[in-house]
């Protein structure tokens, strides 16, 4: 029999904060991805309308984006741990109502839209709260920031693998309503993990430490962030707090450039997942299980890419890796669906895109967490997330209207071309030279996350 040493037990306890947040992210995001297959497929097979399918996606993601823009001050003031727990409980209840009402014959299309809107509204601050806890969890667990964001990407990709695979299988075998029941169970489990696994003191409202000045070489935007953080200690009202978030981001050109690019790519990704892939699966005759296969093939290789990024990203130059990842993960996914390629070839091309995409989110997370002070994290990241997610509600609507008017193949070609131009032309802007500038400094205005971490590569 093998007994755990005191060092092993201590290490397990030390890693508990990060492990708890990542586990909560995994189950909540897995459930969301199951419903992302179940709800569109339910609408598509019951109505036969790509436009109504896009409308359902809009009713979830529209409130999601609006709530994320305004939830930041609430997360900062109430604490992300509390907000995450409440959001998961309410999301579980709303998700469970959909199959229950359907079983009783009481679920109208309007009622479905309303419940989906509730889920989107409350899920938004819950997702933001979990993301906000990542830097603190990494610091408590003494894990390098880029490794923590790499692991965050791994768990998100695992959710993108497990969720579509389970969702496609459930929808194909027993119907979409069972998938929504599983979605509700995932939200409930996420709330239990947050309540049981995270230390009581974690995720409390942040207070500005005071007295910290901008380091030599910091930009005016970074100094503005310090000033905004100091102003926060004056306990301004809600709108004042929200305005501080906007003020801080205006002084961060690299974050604004990043958010603008992500706003367009997220719109196209939403169109891809909510409408283009389901319509392709229907017209090709492959069926709902293939939706899960397509999405899971991307997520499996993206998980591998995220694992590699978690291990070596702190040694690599961010800028070339970042844009090479976009080149591989963007347009090819759309273009392959316009061909008559066999299913294995489709899965291979999409899988290669996932491998490149696995390196992107860890870099985004590290760049974001390095530049936003802890006490500003909810507000600034909430506004940034709202910008990047702003196009997602429109993705399904635009794709549905485009497919209905012009057909699937033209929609895929246009989307692929826009994706390519967005992720390549954006890289020519000078702001991206700042990607490697803050490496090794930890969170803005704070100490390094991991003093034991290896230094960044000299090529950075």
Band (454; pLDDT cuts 50, 70, 90): very low
Tell me: pLDDT of 460 over 60: no
pLDDT at residue 203 in the model: 53
Q: Which residue has the higher pLDDT, 48 or 458?
A: 48
CATH 1.20.1250.20 for the 13-203+220-436 domain, yes or no: yes
**Percent residues over pLDDT 70 in the chain:** 82
Tell me: pLDDT of 455 over 70: no
**Exposed / middle / buried, residue 239 (Cβ in 10 Å: 0-12, 13-18, 19+):** exposed
Q: Which residue has the higher pLDDT, 62 or 259?
A: 259
Q: Which residue has the higher pLDDT, 435 or 448?
A: 435
Tell me: pLDDT of 414 over 90: yes
Q: In the predicted model, what is the mean pLDDT of residues 432-439?
A: 68
Tell me: pLDDT of 419 over 90: yes
Tell me: pLDDT of 41 over 50: yes
Which of the listed ranges 140-144, 243-247, 428-432 does the model predict with the highest average pLDDT?
243-247
pLDDT tens digit string along 292-304? 778 778 878 887 8
Helix (H), strand (E), coil (C) string for the chain: CCCCCHHHHHHHHHCHHHHHHHHHHHHHHHHHHHHHHHHHHHHHHHHCCHHHHHHHHHHHHHHHHHHHHHHHHHHHHHCHHHHHHHHHHHHHHHHHHHHHHHHCCCCCHHHHHHHHHHHHHHHHHHHHHHHHHHHHHHHHHCCCHHHHHHHHHHHHHHHHHHHHHHHHHHHHHHCHHHHHHHHHHHHHHHHHHHHHHCCCCCCCCCCCCCCCCCCCCCCHHHHHHHHHHHHHCCCCCHHHHHHHHHHHHHCCHHHHHHHHHHHHHHHHHHHHHHHHHHHHHHHHCCCHHHHHHHHHHHHHHHHHHHHHHHHHHHHCCHHHHHHHHHHHHCHHHHHHHHCCCCHHHHHHHHHHHHHHHCCHHHHHHHHHHHHCCHHHHHHHHHHHHHHHHCCHHHHHHHHHHHHHHHCHHHHHHHHHHHHHHHHHHHHHCHHHHHHHCCCCCCCCCCCCCCCCCCCCCCCC
pLDDT tens digit string along 71-92? 888 888 888 888 888 899 998 9
Contact 310, 147 (CB under 8 A): yes
Q: Per mean pLDDT, which range of 54-68, 195-209, 219-233, 351-365 is the poorest? A: 219-233
pLDDT tens digit string along 113-136? 999 899 889 888 888 888 888 888
Mean pLDDT across the chain: 77
Tell me: pLDDT of 221 over 60: no
Domain boundaries, the chain: 13-203+220-436
């Amino acid at each position: 029999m093998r007994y755990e040493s005191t060092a092993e037990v201590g290490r397990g306890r030390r890693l508990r904060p990060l492990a708890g947040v990542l586990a909560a992210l995994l189950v909540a995001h897995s459930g969301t991805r199951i419903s992302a297959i179940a709800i569109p497929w339910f609408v598509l097979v019951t109505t036969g309308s790509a436009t109504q399918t896009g409308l359902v996606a809009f009713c979830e993601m529209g409130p999601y984006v609006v709530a994320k823009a305004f939830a930041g001050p609430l997360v900062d003031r109430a604490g992300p741990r509390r907000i995450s727990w409440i959001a998961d409980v309410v999301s579980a209840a709303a998700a469970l109502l959909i199959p229950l009402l359907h079983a009783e014959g009481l679920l109208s299309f309007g009622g479905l839209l309303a419940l989906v809107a509730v889920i989107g509204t409350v899920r938004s601050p819950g997702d933001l709260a979990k993301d906000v806890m990542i830097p603190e969890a990494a610091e408590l667990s003494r894990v390098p920031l880029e490794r923590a964001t790499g692991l965050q990407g791994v768990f998100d990709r695992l959710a993108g693998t497990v969720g579509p695979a389970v969702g496609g299988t459930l929808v194909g075998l027993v119907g979409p309503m069972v998938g929504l029941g599983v979605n509700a169970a995932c939200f409930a489990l996420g709330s239990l993990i947050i309540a049981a696994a995270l230390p009581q003191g974690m995720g409390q409202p942040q207070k500005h430490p005071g007295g910290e000045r901008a380091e030599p070489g910091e930009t005016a935007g970074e100094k503005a962030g310090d000033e905004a953080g100091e102003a926060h200690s004056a306990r301004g009202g809600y709108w004042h707090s929200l305005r501080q978030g906007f003020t801080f981001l205006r002084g961060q050109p690299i974050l604004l450039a990043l958010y603008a690019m992500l706003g367009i790519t997220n719109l196209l990704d939403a169109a891809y997942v909510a409408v283009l892939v389901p319509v392709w699966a229907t017209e090709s005759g492959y069926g709902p299980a293939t939706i899960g296969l397509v999405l899971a093939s991307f997520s499996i290789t993206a998980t591998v890419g995220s694992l590699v990024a978690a291990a070596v990203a702190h040694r690599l130059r961010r800028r070339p890796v970042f844009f090479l990842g976009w080149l591989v993960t963007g347009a090819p996914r759309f273009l392959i669906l316009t061909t008559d390629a066999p299913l294995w070839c489709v899965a291979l091309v999409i899988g290669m895109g996932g491998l490149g995409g696995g390196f992107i989110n860890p870099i985004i997370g590290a760049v974001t967490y390095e530049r936003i002070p802890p006490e500003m994290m909810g507000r600034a990241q909430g506004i940034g997330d709202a910008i990047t997610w702003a196009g997602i509600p429109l993705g399904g609507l635009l794709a549905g209207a485009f497919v209905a008017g012009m057909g699937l193949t033209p929609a895929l070609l246009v989307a692929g071309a826009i994706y390519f131009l967005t992720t390549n032309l954006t890289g020519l802007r000078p702001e991206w030279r700042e990607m490697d500038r803050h490496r090794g400094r930890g969170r803005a205005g704070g100490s390094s996350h991991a003093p034991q971490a290896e230094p960044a590569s000299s090529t950075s």
